[in-house]
Amino acid sequence: MRQLLQINSSLFAETSVSNQIAKELLAQLAETMPQISISCRDIAAEGVPHLDAAYLQAINTPANEQTAKQAQQSIYSQNLIDEVQAADILLIGAPMYNFSVPSVLKAWFDHIARAGITFEYTAEGPKGLLQNKTAYVITTRGGLHKDKASDTQVPYIKNMLAFLGIEDVHFIYAEGLNMGDHARENGLQQARNSIVEILAA
Ligand SMILES: Cc1cc2nc3c(=O)[nH]c(=O)nc-3n(C[C@H](O)[C@H](O)[C@H](O)COP(=O)(O)O)c2cc1C
């Protein structure tokens, strides 16, 4: 059975467009892959902690020398890594906040990028160790940024996933969501059309 890990990062779960589009993509994926197991982590609701010195020290301390707090921090971080390693498919909901990703999504990447586990340095340069995975990224924006210099979100996500070894990445854009009803409808339709195209390919 294929495993899908959904990561939601919108601060507004109830009204979130990225969550809604992710739901629609999931429904269509489930039709083509009935044998799919889905797990979901809402990293905004959960508030993935940002890495700090104490956290880094915790994950770099051998288990038998960790304090109770360090063990808890280390296990939490390891759980995030285990989930990604177990997934065949990643579905990431990524609203644009201040031209980039929500800070919890950055924090999540900081937890899962672990030298020797999800990437390694070789004589040829860094090598991602998360192989044979597909990622779908729903990017929702109030304005229009696709292929413009103001889009510092998609290049970051693309680079981060490639660094970890995930090259089969599909971006679904819903843009112009805060530019009036007409633009919003266009943006939603654009996202729905690209889901159909991507899944048909
Ligand atoms: C804190 C914050 C920052 C935002 N920054 C941007 C931005 O830089 N560019 C943009 O086009 N939209 C921006 N927006 C609008 C969101 O991208 C838009 O509302 C989108 O629908 C959010 O996704 P969601 O509905 O899944 O939460 C911002 C919204 C918030 C709350």
Tell me the per-residue pLDDT of 88-132, one tens digit each, with 9 for 90 and over.
999 999 999 999 999 999 999 999 999 999 999 999 999 999 999
Q: Is 96 in the pocket of ligand 1 (CB under 6 A)?
A: yes
Candidates 16, 21, 92, 96: which one to mutate for ligand 1, based on the most atoms within 8 Å of Cβ?
A: 96
**SS3 call for 128:** strand
Surface-to-core class of residue 177, CB atoms within 10 Å of its CB (0-12 exposed, 13-18 middle, 19+ buried) = buried
Residue 34 pLDDT: 83
Overall domain count for the chain? 1
Candidates 19, 141, 145, 147: which one to mutate for ligand 1, based on the most atoms within 8 Å of Cβ?
A: 141
Residue of the CA atom closest to atom 3 of ligand 1: 97
Give the residues of the chain that fall short of pLDDT 50.
none
Q: Which of 109, 169, 167, 164 is nearest to 139 (CA)?
A: 169
Residue 101 is part of which domain span?
Answer: 2-200
Q: 5: which residues sit within 8 A by CB, 6+ positions away?
A: 39, 40, 41, 83, 84, 86, 87, 89, 90, 91
> Could you tell me the distance, in angstroms and rounded to a whole number, from the CA of residue 1 to the centre of ligand 1?
35
For residues 199 and 28, the answer to whether their CB atoms sit within 8 Å is yes
What span, in angstroms and rounded, lies between the C-alpha atoms of 102 and 189? 23
Whose tokens are 């004589």? That residue is: 123
What span, in angstroms and rounded, lies between the C-alpha atoms of 95 and 138? 8
Kindly tell me the sign of the dihedral angle through the C-alpha atoms of 132, 40, 189, 137: negative
**What are the φ/ψ torsions at residue 132 (nearest 5 degrees)?**
55, 45
CATH code for position 109: 3.40.50.360
Q: Is 98 in the pocket of ligand 1 (CB under 6 A)?
A: yes
Q: What is the pTM of this model?
A: 0.97
